[in-house]
């Protein structure tokens, strides 16, 4: 047995070295950094996109805005300058998916509370009901941290335009006024260049975990 090992000693050594190299290459390949996609109107479900943008394939960014938060402060795109943020659309009197979505936003807030690069932004789709005072009550009830998370209300047309033309996130209402919306469970991940980098089901805890991982990936971008 010993003589056989001596005869094939070099073979076993070379085979061992090659095996280690192959395993290392496979490991590095599986763990290589993969950038998140940049979503464009053409790559999102048409029912969520304004008809004027449905075929746009590049250069899409979140538009400028000016809305009031739970403290009556005017919040604009400048409050999110050079920030990664998670956005959604909701309303405070919703009894179906909104409570779940808000609880998941609270979970995200807890995870990013000490991260200066990341913030949250929730838009009301019923601004006529969600006044500043109403948002304040809701924020206090849900434990919203004013420094990390803005709940915003304002002109309904502006919010509709943001939802349909910027975030590509809500459906047109079949009935009602021209700016009525059917909000969805979508959470959107926005990068520092105001580009959409991910969509997530805000009612699904596994999706929230994926979102948190994607925030970490996004932070690696230069």
Classify residue 82 as exposed, middle or buried by CB count within 10 Å of its CB (0-12, 13-18, 19+): exposed
The backbone region for 123, taken as left when phi is positive above 0, alpha when psi lies in -120 to 50, beta otherwise, is beta
Residues in a beta bridge with 172: 181
3 state SS of 211: helix
Q: Do the beta carbons of residue 88 and residue 202 sit within 8 Å? A: yes
Tokens of 68: 């009031």
> Annotated binding residue at 123?
no
Tokens of 124: 């009301």
Residue reference for tokens 């925030």:
215
Spatial separation of the C-alpha atoms in residues 150 and 34, rounded to whole Å: 30
Q: Do the beta carbons of residue 180 and residue 157 sit within 8 Å? A: no
> Annotated binding residue at 104?
no
| 139 closest CA partner among 97, 201, 131 | 131
Binding residue numbers for Cu cation? 94, 98, 183
Binding residue numbers? 94, 98, 183
């Amino acid at each position: 047995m010993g003589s056989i090992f001596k005869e094939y000693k070099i073979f076993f050594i070379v085979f061992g070295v090659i095996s280690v190299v192959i395993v290392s290459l496979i490991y590095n390949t599986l763990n290589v950094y993969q950038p998140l996609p940049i979503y464009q109107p053409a790559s999102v479900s048409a029912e969520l996109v304004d008809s004027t943008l449905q075929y746009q394939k590049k250069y899409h960014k979140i538009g400028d805005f000016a809305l009031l938060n739970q403290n009556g402060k005017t919040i604009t795109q400048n409050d999110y300058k050079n920030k990664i943020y998670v956005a959604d659309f909701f309303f405070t009197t919703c009894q179906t998916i909104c409570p779940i979505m808000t609880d998941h936003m609270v979970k995200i807030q807890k995870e990013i509370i000490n991260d200066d690069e990341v913030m949250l932004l929730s838009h009301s789709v019923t601004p006529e009901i969600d006044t500043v005072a109403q948002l304040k009550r809701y924020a206090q009830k849900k434990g919203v941290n004013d420094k990390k998370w803005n709940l915003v209300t304002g002109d309904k047309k502006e919010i509709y335009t943001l939802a349909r033309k910027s975030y590509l996130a809500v459906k047109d209402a079949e009935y009602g006024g021209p700016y009525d919306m059917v909000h969805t469970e979508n959470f959107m991940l926005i990068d520092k260049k105001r580009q959409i980098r991910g969509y997530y089901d805000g009612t699904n805890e596994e999706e929230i975990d994926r979102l948190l991982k994607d925030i970490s990936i996004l932070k690696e971008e230069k």
